[in-house]
């Protein structure tokens, strides 16, 4: 089972495109898309960058079960 994440919901709430989020975090649009689709699980550093760019905590983006 793939880990759940809220990256897409947070990105859309802030009205950002995948490209804009990629630009803010230094990630490619392709990587952002893969994280949102849960085909890639980001490293701790990438999770921190996403949380910072999306104005939330890592736990908000990647809830623990």
On the question of pLDDT at 63 being above 70, the answer is: yes
pLDDT in tens, 5-54: 999 999 999 999 999 999 999 999 999 999 999 999 999 999 999 999 99
Report yes or no on 34 lying in a domain.
yes
Measure Cα distances from 42 to 10, 62 in Å. 16, 10
Burial (CB < 10 A; 0-12, 13-18, 19+), residue 42, is buried
On the question of pLDDT at 1 being above 70, the answer is: no
* Number of compact structural domains in the chain: 1
Return the CATH number at 29: 1.10.260.40
Report yes or no on 62 lying in a domain.
no
Please work out, in degrees rounded to the nearest 5, the angle formed at the alpha carbon of residue 34 by the alpha carbons of 8 and 3: 70
- pTM for the structure as a whole: 0.92
Cβ neighbours, 10 Å, residue 7: 25
Q: Domain containing 45: what range? A: 7-57
Report yes or no on 25 lying in a domain.
yes
Whether the Cβ atoms of residue 19 and residue 28 lie closer than 8 Å to each other: no
Report yes or no on 1 lying in a domain.
no
């Amino acid at each position: 089972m793939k880990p759940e994440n809220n990256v897409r919901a947070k990105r859309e709430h802030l009205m950002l495109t995948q490209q804009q989020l990629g630009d803010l975090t230094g990630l490619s649009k392709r990587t952002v898309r893969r994280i949102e689709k849960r085909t890639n699980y980001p490293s701790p550093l990438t999770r921190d960058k996403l949380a910072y760019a999306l104005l939330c905590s890592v736990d908000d983006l990647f809830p623990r079960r």
